[in-house]
A and B are shown apart, each in its own frame.
Chain A
Amino acid sequence: MDIGFSPEETHFREECRDWLHANVPAETRPLDAADAIGFDKAWQRQLFDAGWAGINWPTDYGGRGLSIVQQVIWLEEYAKAHAPWIGANFVGINHGGPTLIINASEEQKAYHLPRILTGEAIWCQGFSEPGAGSDLAGIKTRGRIEGDELVVNGSKIWTSFAHVADWQELVLRTEDGSRRHSGLSWVICDMHAPGITVRPIRKMSGQIEFAQVFYDDVRIPLANVVGGLGNGWKVAMSTLSFERGTGFIADQVKQGQEIDDLIATARANGMIGDDRIAHELAQMRAEVAALRAMTYRNISEVVRTGQPGAEASLIRLFTAELGQRLDRMAVALAGPEMLDFAYGDDNAVGDYLRGFAGTIAGGSAQIQRDIIGERLLGLPRSR
């Protein structure tokens, strides 16, 4: 075992650093999805043109075909350079694209992957419904087969970036009378198709980023089914494994920056003199270091065996809860200045309010603990 990087990797790191230093936009990314979309697309295009999009995607689809270690190096330098959050490209880059790479047909890949990498096509994720969140197998949105089309009716909710997206990972019930995990399909849905209505929803931080989506006789070609009709559960699980696995490396690295900023703030305002605050900061600094070690361990496992270790679910839960404790510390250090918050402010309070998503979105902390207990530790199922 070693924590050093090869000369080639170190050289790659320098390249990343130099490019980011010269190119990270000076302006901050707008908060509302509708305002940010232009920014997100332009930044993704700039990344692509310079060869930084899809570092470990196959070269056939516009990626660089480099190693996962290089991908991590890029993300580390990205966070250190305070480069903007990937924003509306999150779904396409972090789990839509990877799902297609594994499950889609050649035509589907050839059409969609380059568009995702260039930022030309924005994707969103239509999994959750008003009646089915944690219980994804309980979804009711239906796709009736008519000739070579699916006719879709129903509703999805909490769909991040739905109102600015071009395509959607849509999971629906395509088999009449099917129950639970069977009879589902994972479909590429054109968000501009007739019959789709999007109602944006405001978060408690004031931000408008997710939405409810209604489908009223929306026609989707059967050719847009990914991984075969009726195989939706399996494909959705691979999407979630990307979403919960490598999708959060950038966040993990960012937490490393945050803790040092918090310690500096606590020293500056004297609150470090409070033993409980000093203790918690010390604890989190150790945990942030361990998170990097955990990520490296997981990546090493991918390199060794070709797959992420089963421990990815541990990292996901740990990152989410540590992130929220960092957010809470930031507002504790702000004191009554916290009350000055107004919608549109991009500060620690906004981060804290948005950060509640960490243990809800992409599988709640409770669901993650079930997964760890059942799949990793082999405990009997609860349900």
Chain B
Amino acid sequence: MNLTPDDDQRAFVTATADWCRDTMPLEDARDRPADLWNQLEAMGLPGITAPEANGGLALDHATEVLVFAELGRHLAPVALPASAVAARWTGTRGKTALAVAASDGLRLLDGDAAQHGLGIFDGRIGHFALPAGLVPGHSLDPSATLVRLSAMPLTETVDDPRAALHLQLLAAAFSVGCADAARDMAVDYAKVREQFERPIGSFQAIKHMCADMAVRAAVARSQLYYAACALDAEDADTTFHVAAAKRLADQAALDNGRANIQIHGGIGMTDEAFPHFCLKRAHLLQFVASVDAAALLAA
């Protein structure tokens, strides 16, 4: 039993974090470099667990979630989890849009320059070729474009249930990163913003909100590690552990996202400041491979 990253994993995470800070800082979430996707592919990031035959690195999910949490912290493109699942399970390569089912059809997220779409339908991964001529518009999350499809495209299903767990796990990793980002942004601000001639972080009402943000992020991250290891080990309770990780990560991202805005005060509500990026990303992820109570109560 070991739930702490080894030296190789640490090095991978640090390299990813450094690269993200230079190439796609959170502050630029709505204005990313045009060739970003090519750079992400050149880093091998969509193929961490994909087989070598498909251009992947064939590493384990434990390594993958560590890296994806880091990517999520910088609000990396949401096509990444979908593309990673596609590379691992469908044999396709290249950018894959993230599909979210709604009662009035599909939402395709981050589909610019993508050939495929992928999402969970009736509990299984389904993937499809994107129709031509889609015109991406805005989504709630300023870092992700959106296209509405009213008719369900012809979908191929991946029968292996681990594929859907994989998407759930990577979405959870993105949420964990998002919760971390909101916590750090709030704490940094609380250290420098002064009112009543002292930093607002010295007021317990603020400090204790920050402490709760730290607890939520740590709880979600711990379960994320456990779930990744469970999927790697094909543990009998993997479905539960991945669902638990997703539930806790989504909640941490949402709750931290809201608290971050409160801690920023008036500027926290502006379009110009960055807290809303985290909140909006959390809302997007909430609809990816979401978990209902029954899944967590099942034996």
Contact = CB atoms under 8 A, between A and B. Distances in A.
Interface of A: 1-5, 9, 69, 263, 272, 275, 278-279, 281-283, 285-287, 289-294, 296-297, 299-301, 303-304, 311, 314, 317-318, 366, 368-370, 372-374, 376-382
B223 A286 contact: yes
Interface in B1-18: 1-6, 9
B244 A285 contact: yes
B297 interface: yes
A289 B202 contact: no
Contacts of A314: 214-215, 218-219
Interface string B182-218: 0000010011000000110111101110111011001
A252 B223 CA distance: 15
Contacts of A376: 211, 214
Chain B CB within 10 Å, residue with most, of A279, A372, A374: A372
B296 interface: yes
Nearest to B2: A300
B248 A286 contact: yes
Which 5 A-B pairs rank lowest in CB-CB distance, beginning with the nearest?
A286-B244, A373-B207, A293-B226, A290-B223, A282-B296
Contact of B204 (A9, A263, A278, A370): A370
Given A294-B219, A379-B206, 7 more contacts: A272-B297, A278-B294, A282-B247, A366-B208, A373-B201, A374-B207, A379-B187
15 contacts: A3-B229, A3-B233, A285-B297, A289-B223, A289-B241, A290-B244, A292-B226, A297-B222, A300-B1, A311-B218, A314-B215, A370-B207, A377-B187, A377-B211, A379-B207
Contact of B222 (A9, A294, A372): A294
Contacts, number: 156
A1 B5 contact: yes
A279 B248 CA distance: 13
B170 interface: no
Interface in B214-250: 214-215, 218-220, 222-223, 225-226, 228-230, 232-233, 235, 240-241, 243-245, 247-248
Contacts of A283: 247, 296
Chain B CB within 10 Å, residue with most, of A287, A292, A304: A287
A2 B187 CA distance: 32
Given A3-B235, A9-B1, A289-B244, A382 B297 contact: no
A297 B3 contact: yes
Nearest to B244: A286
A9 B1 CA distance: 9
A1 B214 contact: no
B201 A380 contact: yes
B243 A286 contact: yes
A296 B224 CA distance: 12
Given A290-B222, A297-B3, A2 B233 contact: yes
B191 A4 contact: no
A33 B241 CA distance: 39
B259 interface: no
Given A3-B1, A289-B223, A373-B208, A380 B202 contact: yes
A382 B202 contact: yes
A1 B4 contact: yes
A32 B190 CA distance: 47
A317 B211 contact: yes
A255 to B, nearest CB: 13
A373 B207 CA distance: 6
B289 interface: no
B211 A1 contact: no
B190 to A, nearest CB: 6
B62 interface: yes
A2 B6 CA distance: 11
Contacts of A370: 204, 207-208, 211
B296 A297 contact: no
Contacts of A368: 211
B199 A380 contact: yes
B3 to A, nearest CB: 4
B61 to A, nearest CB: 10
Chain B CB within 10 Å, residue with most, of A289, A296, A297, A311: A289
Given A278-B297, A376-B214, A380-B201, A2 B219 contact: no
Chain B CB within 10 Å, residue with most, of A292, A317, A377: A377
A290 B219 contact: yes
Nearest to B4: A300
A373 B204 CA distance: 9
Contacts of A272: 297
A292 B226 CA distance: 9
B199 A286 contact: no
Contacts of A5: 1
Contact of B293 (A278, A289, A300, A373): A278
